Amino acid sequence: MEPAPPMAETNLQAQLGGIAARLIDIAGCVAAEAETATAMVRGMSDHAQRLAALATALEDASSAMEAGVRQQSDTLADARAALSVNKPIIDALARSVEGVAAISATVAQIARESRVLSLNARIEAARAGLEGEAFGVVASEMSTLTGRTKRATDEINEQACVIARDVGAANAVVAAHTSLVVRQDDLLVASLAGARHQRDTATELVSITAQTSSTIDAAATAIGRVGANAVAVKLLARQISKLADTDS
In the predicted model, residues of the chain with pLDDT beneath 70 are: 1-13, 16, 129-133, 135, 243-248
The CATH T-level fold of domain 8-247 is Helix Hairpins (1.10.287)
Residues 198, 221: Cα–Cα separation, whole Å: 34
**Domain residue extents for the chain:** 8-247
Whole-number mean pLDDT of the chain?
Answer: 75
pTM of the model: 0.46
122-164 pLDDT per residue, tens: 777 777 766 666 767 777 777 777 777 778 778 877 877 887 7
pLDDT at residue 71, rounded to an integer: 81
Contact 174, 86 (CB under 8 A): yes
pLDDT at residue 1, rounded to an integer: 46
Contacts of 177 (CB under 8 A, 6+ apart): 79, 83
Residues 234, 22: Cα–Cα separation, whole Å: 10
Q: What are phi and psi of 4, to 5 degrees?
A: -70, 145
